[in-house]
């Protein structure tokens, strides 16, 4: 990036709000470090590349591999054949043996809504939103191990350390609201890739997620100074910087620093407000199941997600742990579903009533699914399964009441309308108006992209 | 291209008319309908590197090699693919060809595959790499001794470096800035060399020193300081992706990676010749043995360079795991030492640089012939990531050199003891205490001692079991003894490697003898003996004085750290996709002097810093700025943002709480073996007042402050850090407990000094934090701020607030 003439605060803010906001900011600060050319992979024209259908994403990551055949993938043949040997040959089915017994879904499936989508009794609330859901029954990924599949689901690569989807989105579109971070992750994993799952890898650090843990963002409040005192302190800093800029002959680097403080000062004000759900009416809290023991925790996070979405955060991820049912499927899957069903249904309904669902894309899913056969004769458990599983999308430019793709009759492997995790990534970008083949960043002598050399947009599901 | 057509036409002649007719009627439609979609010049995306729209296209073959053997259908990959005999290569990928079409193709190949399509495909060049032509590229030409150019403005230059720079400026009609003032210059030099602000005393001495060699004296003092190594080692650690854990899927600690960190610090402090530095890191274990124990140890530790990369411990396929390791080693060797992206050639010939896939596997053979010593193995069934056998270098150390490793096999999950067990544990502890006392009382009584020992052991076993400390289900590694180092050593059976077609380990191609990059001549005609990996030979080839890249890349890195921007700005990429040098002659001049100066990093730094070019002011001049906004002609010193470490260390130093004594080891030694993150925070609170280079660098748990200020992501090779200015940095400076605490310390220090009155204190505050006196207006501003603040709060809070404001200011965070 060639050096920029010292921008005024106004042009700065304008840039900050536009797609290249953070880059522009980075550019300002590096005038000196001169070499900003690599920060911007210029001429590549970051997006949007075409008219976006969604402005932002809420990703609901169910870590562990939720069982699709017990939830969103209706398999009548599996229901009919429970207890019989699965007959899956060993080759290509990992640890599954020929004689492993099929485990019929432990919950009853029913057709829901006008669309008649099949959803099991685990999700009574979500089932009522069936006509808004787009089930992707033909999902598949590369590896049936949590760490690889989790990293794959977030960065599209197992082999190398790459930026996460959210970082790419922010790089492509910039922040919608310059008073807030553009990419937020709530209670992320600290293992299975940990920060790599929301990191920026070779993209500038400004694209990594801001972490909210225990409902807080770090360094957002000063323990010693009142707001008035801090304002005076910042005025002192600004005067120092302005004098410095005079001496240095007008230096954009300094202007960048000045602006970052003004932005930070506003963030201190706006972020706690956004995260503070106390002001929400009781009726809204109830929609999310806040107040009930089982649902308060995730409900709070979902409500926070709505508030962040409303305030214009580009990419919001929520993580719910513990979907790895090698045994105790009955008990644990019930409690997981219970903890998340009403909060998610509440989120969809709430976005809808505010007219935000059309522009907000919700993506639900784990890193893979589970086998139709049971893990062992002893208990109700299922193994990992990367060959077929289910994710669903909702809102922002996706058709509702739709089921796309299918697994084989028993629910083992995706056979129709297959959607690889690369395809899911390509589709998310597409809905945001980004062409996954054009959204590139130059690093180590070549242009990288989220989907590497893969990825097809799932056109069938576009509204 | 014209030649190609002529030759091809000559070949075309003998093909019979009937055969051509057969092609046109039967074969061309098949190829056009079924294959061109992916295998022609007009393909949206060319697949497998194979063109089927010209004779030349298929004659050249694709990534998998030859595809059509005229006359031999069974031996032709194309026929095998349409017959779908392989699992992986089945064409067309989706729907098999009708039998009739397969038969037609077989018949065509049998008749010799006549093909009249002679015109070379438009828009796509023949993809075979021409290494000889590639050698013409500037970076593969050896550095040439260039005469120092004449300069009209003869009074300006002080050194030859200046003459190269000034000559270019004169061509462009550009005048350099005036010299920087002394306060600015000593702060610049001190931060560049040791990563700390100068003390008041140092500033005072330099400002008062009228001797002509005043600045040289400053440089010599700084270069001799042990803080120099701590500053410059960090630059190297960025490049070699230094970290203390495996990262990625299962993030396990590297409890002894810190030995490599300390090795690098020592090397920079001792001004270890750069060629030796490189040789040790690639092959220290193979160098002729030294009688000096420390030298021997250092050489083993140095090979940690090849061991500290990321690992996918959850990768179950051992071959894949080993191949990924070799790739990491090739990547770091290629980019750190030669600024070449060799890894690109893993799956196909390099797209830009003359590096064929063969070269990649020649290098891979070298690395695969070495065993990795990092304590871990990939996870396979029934294996818990702990390598069998001794997977470390063993060092010859005395006790003082072995910081107590607190790491032991840890419980899988720290279980809370059940109430009953807790009671029992309490009883055991009590009894153990009694036994200890009893043992003291009964010294010398063998029978009693024996009974006590027996009972003690029994109790300890029970204690272990109850507390869960003996559970080694996950933490099955032997406790460290303290003499371990990471690294590599030659494997039992060194061997050449076969090319993995398209990088796929199951698709083996031709075997390639171990060797180096063919584009760079091997002056010594190296022979790699069958019983050695070839690492030592690789190291020698890299550090040969004729190597066109090694010296250039390093002097360019030095330049980058002193000017904020290299002569080649893409410091990690000297290939075609990288940038060209702004001053090629100067780069060569520096590289050649680097070598003749015994590869001395300190001498090179000193020579550059003594140039007038380094010493000019940074002030922006509107007119010059218009001519050369990026400052490629070095008319000024570019202002540079301080790195995260320098900002942190400088705040600690101003507060007077920086502890310059290096710590022994690393907190990562104390992290229980096993996956991190399952066990809570990592290395919190450690090294709180030590220099930042000693903070624990655990992948995915980078210390907060470093992350906020663009620390080099430790899983990637980073010769040049990003510089961003974002609100999270401002929030950190405004609100973090760390900054507030350092500001408070600085305030206490100020109030304890003999400065009297607000005016004088204001002046001292500026001298402490910024290394210069405050101007009148600055003093007045601070004084009125403090007075206002003191209407509600005590004076020490007021000054703490001033210091925090200075820390937050651009002047503190930039060097100019």
- CB distance B781–A239 less than 8 Å? yes
Mean pLDDT of B543-565: 97
- Residues of A148-165 as b/e, b for ≥16 C-beta within 10 angstroms? bbbbbbbbbbbbbbbbbb
Q: Residue B726: its pLDDT value, please?
A: 79
Q: Which pLDDT band holds residue B250 (cuts at 50, 70, 90)?
A: confident
Q: Residue B69: its pLDDT value, please?
A: 87
CB neighbours of residue A111 within 10 Å: 13
More confident residue, A362 or A268: A362
Q: Residue B417: its pLDDT value, please?
A: 52
- CB distance A202–B716 less than 8 Å? yes
Torsion of CA B689, B693, B696, B701, to 10 degrees: 110
Q: Which pLDDT band holds residue B3 (cuts at 50, 70, 90)?
A: very low
How wide is the angle at C-alpha A153 spanned by C-alphas A126 and A411, nearest 5°?
A: 60
The string of pLDDT tens digits covering residues B485-511 is: 999 999 999 999 999 988 888 888 999
Q: Do residues A185 and A164 make contact, with C-beta atoms less than 8 angstroms apart?
A: no
The string of pLDDT tens digits covering residues B268-287 is: 999 999 999 999 999 999 99
B371 backbone dihedrals φ, ψ, rounded to 5°: -95, 140
How wide is the angle at C-alpha A50 spanned by C-alphas A45 and A53, nearest 5°?
A: 130
Query: Which of A219, A232, A252, A453 is the best residue to mutate to test the B interface, defined by the most B CB atoms within 10 Å of its own CB?
Result: A219
Does the structure show a pLDDT above 50 at B514? yes
Q: Residue B56: its pLDDT value, please?
A: 78
Q: Residue A27: its pLDDT value, please?
A: 30
Token digits of residue B458: 């029994």
Mean pLDDT of A235-246: 92
Query: Which of B187, B727, B732 is the best residue to mutate to test the A interface, defined by the most A CB atoms within 10 Å of its own CB?
Result: B727
The 3-class SS string of B537-600 reads HHHHHHCCCCCCCHHHHHHHHHHHHHHCCCCCCCCCCCCCCCCCCCCHHHHHHHHHHHHHCCCC
Q: Which of residues 74-113 of B touch A (CB under 8 A)?
A: none
Token digits of residue B683: 């290395």
Q: Which pLDDT band holds residue A45 (cuts at 50, 70, 90)?
A: very low
Of B573, B731, B781, the CB nearest to A264: B731
| Beta bridge partner(s), residue B394 | B484
Contact with chain A for residue B781, Cβ under 8 A: yes
Round the CA-based radius of gyration of chain B to a whole number and report it.
33
Chain A residues inside the 8 Å CB shell of B708: 205
Q: Which pLDDT band holds residue B389 (cuts at 50, 70, 90)?
A: low
Give the separation between CA A136 and CA A365, rounded to whole angstroms.
Answer: 10
Does the structure show a pLDDT above 70 at B380? no
Give the separation between CA A455 and CA A419, rounded to whole angstroms.
Answer: 9
How wide is the angle at C-alpha B230 spanned by C-alphas B225 and B232, nearest 5°?
A: 95
More confident residue, A381 or B61: A381
Q: Do residues B196 and B656 make contact, with C-beta atoms less than 8 angstroms apart?
A: no
The string of pLDDT tens digits covering residues B164-203 is: 999 999 999 999 999 999 999 999 999 999 999 999 999 9
Give the separation between CA A444 and CA A41, rounded to whole angstroms.
Answer: 12
Q: Which of residues 276-315 of B touch A (CB under 8 A)?
A: 310, 312, 314-315
Chain A residues inside the 8 Å CB shell of B802: 236
What is the reported pTM? 0.76
Q: Residue A35: its pLDDT value, please?
A: 27
Q: Residue A180: its pLDDT value, please?
A: 86
Percent of chain A scored above 90 by pLDDT?
Answer: 61
Q: Which of residues 175-234 of A touch B (CB under 8 A)?
A: 181, 189-196, 199-202, 204-206, 208, 210, 218-225, 229-230, 232-234
Of B351, B569, B736, the CB nearest to A37: B569
Chain A residues inside the 8 Å CB shell of B351: 446
The string of pLDDT tens digits covering residues B202-228 is: 999 999 999 999 999 999 999 999 999
Q: Comparing C-alpha atoms, which of B811, B806, B769 is closest to residue B786? A: B806
Contact with chain A for residue B483, Cβ under 8 A: no
Give the separation between CA A267 and CA A262, rounded to whole angstroms.
Answer: 9
- For A232, which residue in chain B has the nearest alpha carbon? B785
Mean pLDDT of B608-618: 97
CB neighbours of residue A171 within 10 Å: 28
The string of pLDDT tens digits covering residues B434-476 is: 888 888 888 888 888 888 888 888 888 887 777 654 333 444 4
Of A29, A199, A243, the CB nearest to B723: A29
Q: How far is B815 from chain A (nearest CA, A)?
A: 10
Does the structure show a pLDDT above 50 at A323? yes
Taking all residues of chain B, what is their mean pLDDT, rounded to a whole number? 88
Chain A residues inside the 8 Å CB shell of B729: 260
The string of pLDDT tens digits covering residues B283-325 is: 999 999 999 999 999 999 999 999 999 998 888 888 999 999 9
Q: Which pLDDT band holds residue A407 (cuts at 50, 70, 90)?
A: very high
Of B315, B341, B621, the CB nearest to A445: B341
Give the separation between CA A119 and CA B371, rounded to whole angstroms.
Answer: 52
More confident residue, A216 or B208: B208
Q: Which pLDDT band holds residue B643 (cuts at 50, 70, 90)?
A: very high
Q: Residue B266: its pLDDT value, please?
A: 98
Could you check whether the bond before residue B586 is cis, i.e. omega within 30 degrees of 0? Answer: no
Does the structure show a pLDDT above 50 at B329? yes
Chain B residues inside the 8 Å CB shell of A268: 731, 734-735
Q: Residue A204: its pLDDT value, please?
A: 80
Q: Residue B344: its pLDDT value, please?
A: 86
Here the ipTM equals: 0.76
Residue at token pair 């005079």: A246
Mean pLDDT of A3-8: 38
Mean pLDDT of B631-650: 95
Q: Residue A238: its pLDDT value, please?
A: 93
Could you check whether the bond before residue B172 is cis, i.e. omega within 30 degrees of 0? Answer: no
Q: Do residues A82 and A102 make contact, with C-beta atoms less than 8 angstroms apart?
A: yes
Q: Which of residues 718-747 of B touch A (CB under 8 A)?
A: 720, 722-732, 734-737, 740
- CB distance B789–A25 less than 8 Å? no
Q: Comparing C-alpha atoms, which of B33, B48, B143, B49 is closest to residue B88? A: B48
More confident residue, A25 or B312: B312
Q: Residue B15: its pLDDT value, please?
A: 55
Give the separation between CA B573 and CA B569, rounded to whole angstroms.
Answer: 9
Give the separation between CA B285 and CA B300, rounded to whole angstroms.
Answer: 5
Q: Which pLDDT band holds residue B584 (cuts at 50, 70, 90)?
A: very high
């Amino acid at each position: 990036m060639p050096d920029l003439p010292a921008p005024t605060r106004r042009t700065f803010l304008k840039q900050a709000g536009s797609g290249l906001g953070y880059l522009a900011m980075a550019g300002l600060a590096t005038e000196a470090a001169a070499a900003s050319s690599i920060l911007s992979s210029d001429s590549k024209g970051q997006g949007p590349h075409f008219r976006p259908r969604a402005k932002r994403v809420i990703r609901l990551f169910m870590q562990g591999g939720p069982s699709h055949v017990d939830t969103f993938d209706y398999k009548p043949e599996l229901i009919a054949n429970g207890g019989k040997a699965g007959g899956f040959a060993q080759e290509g089915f990992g640890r599954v043996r020929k004689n492993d017994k099929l485990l019929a879904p432990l919950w009853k499936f029913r057709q829901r809504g006008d669309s008649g989508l099949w959803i099991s009794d685990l999700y009574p609330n979500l089932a009522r939103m069936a006509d808004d859901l787009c089930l992707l029954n033909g999902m598949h990924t590369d590896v049936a191990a949590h760490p690889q599949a989790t990293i794959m689901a977030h960065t599209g690569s197992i082999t190398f350390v790459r930026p996460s989807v959210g970082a790419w989105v922010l790089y492509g579109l910039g922040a919608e609201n310059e008073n807030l971070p553009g990419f937020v992750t709530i209670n992320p994993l600290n293992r299975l890739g940990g920060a790599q799952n929301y990191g920026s890898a070779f993209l500038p650090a400004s694209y990594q997620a801001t972490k909210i843990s225990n409902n807080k963002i770090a360094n957002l409040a000063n323990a010693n100074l009142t707001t008035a005192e801090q304002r005076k302190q910042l005025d002192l800093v600004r005067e120092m910087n302005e004098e410095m800029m005079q001496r240095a002959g007008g230096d954009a680097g300094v202007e960048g620093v000045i602006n970052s403080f003004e932005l930070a000062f506003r963030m201190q004000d706006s972020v706690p407000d956004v995260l503070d759900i106390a002001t929400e009416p009781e009726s809204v809290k109830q929609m999310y199941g806040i107040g009930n023991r089982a649902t308060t925790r995730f409900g709070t996070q979902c409500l926070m997600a709505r508030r962040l979405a409303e305030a214009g955060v580009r990419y919001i991820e929520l993580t719910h742990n513990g979907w790895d049912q090698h045994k105790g499927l009955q008990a644990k899957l019930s409690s997981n579903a219970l903890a998340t069903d009403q909060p998610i249904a509440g989120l969809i309904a709430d976005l809808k009533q505010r007219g935000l669902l059309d522009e907000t894309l919700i993506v639900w899913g784990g890193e893979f699914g589970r086998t139709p056969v049971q893990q062992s004769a002893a208990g109700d458990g299922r193994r990992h399964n990367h060959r077929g599983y289910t994710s669903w999308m909702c809102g922002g430019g996706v058709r509702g009441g739709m089921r796309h793709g299918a697994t084989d009759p028993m629910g083992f492997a995706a056979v129709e309308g297959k959607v690889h995790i690369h395809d899911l990534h390509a589709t998310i970008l597409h809905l945001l108006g980004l062409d996954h083949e054009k959204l590139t960043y130059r690093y180590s002598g070549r242009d990288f992209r989220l989907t590497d050399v893969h990825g097809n947009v799932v056109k069938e599901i576009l509204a | 291209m014209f030649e190609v057509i002529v030759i091809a036409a000559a070949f075309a002649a003998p093909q019979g008319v009937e055969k051509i007719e057969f092609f046109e009627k039967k074969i061309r439609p098949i190829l056009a309908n079924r294959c061109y979609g992916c295998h022609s010049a007009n393909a949206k995306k060319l697949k497998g590197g194979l063109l089927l729209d010209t004779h030349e296209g298929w004659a050249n073959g694709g990534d998998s090699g030859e595809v059509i053997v005229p006359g031999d259908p069974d031996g032709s990959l194309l026929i095998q693919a349409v017959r779908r005999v392989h699992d992986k290569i089945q064409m067309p990928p989706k729907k098999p060809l009708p039998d009739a079409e397969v038969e037609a193709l077989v018949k065509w190949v049998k008749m010799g595959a006549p093909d009249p399509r002679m015109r070379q495909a438009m828009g796509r060049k023949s993809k075979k790499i021409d290494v000889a032509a590639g050698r013409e590229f500037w970076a593969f030409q050896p550095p040439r001794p260039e005469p120092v150019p004449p300069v009209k403005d003869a009074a300006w230059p002080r050194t030859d470096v200046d003459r190269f720079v000034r000559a270019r400026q004169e061509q462009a009609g550009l005048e350099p800035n005036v010299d920087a003032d002394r306060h600015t210059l000593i702060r610049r030099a001190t931060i560049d060399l040791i990563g700390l602000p100068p003390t008041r005393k140092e500033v005072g001495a330099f400002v008062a020193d009228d001797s002509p060699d005043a600045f040289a004296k400053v440089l010599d003092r700084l270069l001799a300081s042990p803080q120099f190594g701590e500053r410059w080692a960090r630059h190297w650690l960025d490049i070699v992706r230094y970290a203390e854990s495996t990262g990625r899927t299962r993030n396990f600690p590297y409890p002894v990676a810190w030995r490599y960190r300390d090795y690098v610090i020592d090397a920079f402090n001792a001004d270890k010749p750069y060629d030796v530095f490189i040789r040790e890191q690639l092959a220290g274990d193979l160098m002729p043995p030294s009688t000096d124990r420390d030298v021997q140890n250092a050489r083993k530790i140095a090979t940690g360079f090849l061991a500290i990369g990321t690992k996918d411990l959850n990768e179950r396929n051992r071959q894949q795991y080993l191949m990924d390791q070799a790739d990491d080693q090739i990547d770091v060797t290629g980019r750190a030492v030669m600024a070449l992206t060799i890894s690109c050639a893993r799956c196909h010939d390099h797209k830009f640089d003359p590096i064929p896939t063969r070269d990649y596997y020649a290098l891979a053979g070298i690395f695969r012939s070495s065993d990795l010593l990092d304590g871990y193995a990939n996870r396979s069934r029934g294996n818990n990531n702990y390598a069998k056998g001794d997977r470390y270098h063993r060092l010859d150390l005395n006790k003082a050199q072995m910081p107590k490793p607190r790491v032991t096999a840890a419980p899988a999950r720290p279980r809370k003891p059940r109430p009953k067990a807790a009671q029992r544990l309490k009883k055991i502890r009590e009894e153990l205490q009694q036994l200890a006392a009893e043992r003291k009382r009964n010294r010398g009584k063998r029978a009693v001692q024996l009974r006590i020992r027996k009972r003690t052991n029994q109790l300890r076993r029970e204690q272990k079991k109850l507390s869960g400390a003996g559970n080694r289900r996950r933490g099955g590694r032997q406790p460290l003894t303290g003499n371990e180092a990471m690294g590599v050593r030659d494997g039992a059976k060194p061997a050449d490697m076969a090319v993995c077609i398209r990088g796929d380990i199951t698709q083996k191609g031709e075997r390639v003898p171990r060797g180096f990059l063919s584009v760079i001549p091997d002056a010594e005609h190296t022979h790699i003996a069958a019983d050695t990996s070839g690492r030592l030979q690789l190291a020698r080839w890299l550090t040969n004085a004729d190597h066109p890249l090694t010296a250039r890349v390093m002097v360019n890195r030095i330049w980058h750290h002193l000017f904020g921007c290299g002569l080649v700005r893409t410091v990690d990429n000297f290939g075609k996709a990288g940038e060209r040098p702004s001053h090629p002659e100067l780069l060569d001049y520096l590289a050649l002097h680097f070598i003749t100066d015994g590869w001395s990093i300190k001498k090179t730094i000193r020579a550059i810093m003594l140039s007038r070019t380094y010493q000019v002011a940074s002030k922006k001049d509107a007119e010059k700025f218009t001519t050369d906004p990026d400052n490629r002609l070095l008319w000024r010193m570019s202002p540079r943002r301080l790195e995260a470490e320098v900002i942190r260390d400088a705040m600690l130093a101003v507060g007077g709480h920086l502890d310059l004594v290096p710590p022994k080891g690393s907190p990562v030694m104390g992290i229980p073996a096993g996956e991190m993150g399952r066990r809570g925070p990592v290395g919190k609170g450690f090294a709180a007042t030590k220099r930042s280079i000693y903070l624990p660098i655990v992948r995915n748990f980078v210390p907060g402050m470093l992350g906020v200020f663009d620390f080099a992501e430790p899983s990637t090779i980073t010769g040049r850090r990003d510089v961003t200015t974002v609100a999270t940095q401002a929030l950190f400076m405004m609100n973090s407990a760390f900054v507030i605490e350092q500001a408070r310390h600085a305030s206490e220090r100020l109030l304890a000094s003999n400065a009297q009155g607000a005016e004088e204190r204001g002046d001292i505050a500026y001298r402490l934090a910024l290394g210069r006196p405050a101007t009148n207006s600055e003093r007045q501003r601070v004084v009125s701020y403090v007075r206002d603040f003191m209407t509600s709060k005590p004076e020490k809070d007021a000054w703490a607030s001033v210091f925090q404001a200075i820390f937050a200011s651009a002047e503190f965070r930039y060097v100019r």
